[in-house]
Amino acid sequence: MKILGIESSCDETACAVVEDGRKVLSNVVATSLEEHKLYGGVVPEIASRRHAESISGVVREALEQANCTMTDIDAIAVTYAPGLIGALLVGVNFAKGLALATDTPLVPVHHIRGHIASNYISSDVKPPFLCLIVSGGHSHIVAVKDYTDFEIIGRTRDDAAGEALDKAGRTMGLEYPGGVSIDKISPNGNENAYKFPKPKVTGSPYDFSFSGLKTAVINAVHNAEQKGEKINIPDLAASFQKSVVDCLTDNLEKVAKERGLDKIVIAGGVSANSKLRSQTQKICKNHGWKLYLPELKYCGDNAAMIASQGYYEFLKGEIAGENLNAYATMPIDKSYKTD
């Protein structure tokens, strides 16, 4: 079964064709990242306009690279939530038009479920497993009980890990996205040079909080500026990255130990982070747990992961009508149709 995936939730306009949820036949991504760098973050209106310009060409290219026409496609999977609303609407409306014109079923896909599926196209991993999802907008620990059955165990109370990395990077004067820049320069720094307090979260023992850490970095930079002191940016970046990664892996390890789960999966843009990858590898090796990491090319936003998840949603009967809408927020454990 061949699924055409469409993704436009942020600044990537992407289309892919995936066979049986696992085999990537094509994966085309056009990004407006360079334009957003000028502003130090994604400008929603610019992202929407670039989606509108690129989407037809990107879809055509994905079909061509997969050696397909629409008659070969069994369903169209599209990201409908969560994300930038204007950006999502471009993908959703394009997918609706294409589905209507070609009489093809339309499958709504949750973006974060898609990130989890980046592992289905990177390895043969199958649910159930425990998943740490870390992106620009989300930080979750989720029990993936089945392809379309999720239990949220831990979540961020404030900023997502990627958002905190991006904002800290900006304060340090690094290029957007800060997460990528911090990862790049951290090997040149001493990760023990700056000590950041471990955030305390009351209530759930598995929840995260990153806004305090972010504020601590901002204060460190501003205090140094006021005193005329020079900050060692690689040291600060490496120390901040270590604090963020420690928070993520401490909670992940705690959940896995307490629940006796030994199959661990990482997903989302921040799963490309080299410190997060090496630290989870170490932890899983120590405990004898099996770890799955997405291939680097599938860590960031792409449509192959949406087509992969779309396959499993389609098998479950998650099909949308002509009234499909886009949503800026949506819990991962809420299904489109069945809830």
Q: What is the number of alpha carbons within 13 Å of residue 133 lying toward its C-beta? A: 27
Q: What, of ligand KG4, Zn ion, none, does residue 177 touch, CB below 5 to 8 Å by kind?
A: ligand KG4
**Smaller CB separation from Zn ion, 104 or 135:** 135
Binding partner of residue 242 among Zn ion, ligand KG4, none, CB cut-off 5 to 8 Å per kind: none
Angle of the 211-227 helix axis to the 161-171 helix axis, nearest 10: 10
Binding mask 225-264 for Zn ion (x = CB under 5 A): ----------------------------------------
Say which entry of ligand KG4, Zn ion, none residue 273 contacts (CB below 5 to 8 A, set by partner kind).
ligand KG4
d(CA 1, CA 306): 15
Residue 77 bridge partners (DSSP):
5, 107
Shortest Å, Cβ 109 to Zn ion: 12
DSSP character for 267?
E
**Cα-atom radius of gyration of the chain, to the nearest Å?**
20
Given Zn ion, ligand KG4, none, residue 318, with its beta carbon under 5 to 8 Å by kind, binds: none
Q: Site residues for Zn ion, window 76-135 (CB under 5 A)?
A: 135
Count of C-beta atoms within a 10 Å radius of residue 295: 13
For ligand KG4, give the closer residue by CB, 91 or 136.
136
Identify the residue whose tokens are 């090997």.
Answer: 187
Q: Does 301 bind Zn ion (CB under 5 A)?
A: yes
Give least dist CB 314 to Zn ion, A. 21
Our CB check for Zn ion shows the closer of 117 and 236 to be 117
Candidates 44, 39, 35; CA nearest to 8 is 44
Q: Spell out where 95-179 has E strands.
A: 106-110, 129-134, 139-146, 149-155
Residue 154 binds which of ligand KG4, Zn ion, none (CB < 5-8 A, kind-dependent): none
Beta strand 12-19 with 2-7: parallel, antiparallel or unpaired?
Answer: antiparallel
Q: Which is nearer to ligand KG4, 334 or 337 (CB)?
A: 334
> What is the closest distance, in whole angstroms, from the C-beta atom of residue 140 to ligand KG4 in the complex?
12
The 156-185 contact track toward Zn ion, x by CB under 5 A, reads: ------------------------------
| SS3 track for 23-51 | EEEEEEEEECHHHHHCCCCCCHHHHHHHH
Shortest Cβ 226–ligand KG4 spacing (Å): 28
Shortest Å, Cβ 15 to Zn ion: 16
| Integer CA distances (angstroms), 249 to 167, 244, 256, 286, in order | 21, 9, 10, 13
For Zn ion, the closer CB: 73 or 88: 88
Chain residues that interact with ligand KG4, rule: CB under 6 A: 10, 115, 135-137, 162, 165-166, 177-180, 183, 268-270, 272-273, 300-301
Q: Which is nearer to ligand KG4, 81 or 99 (CB)?
A: 81
CB within 8 Å of 105: residues ≥ 6 apart: 74, 75, 76, 99, 314, 319
Residues within the interface to Zn ion (CB under 5 A): 135, 301
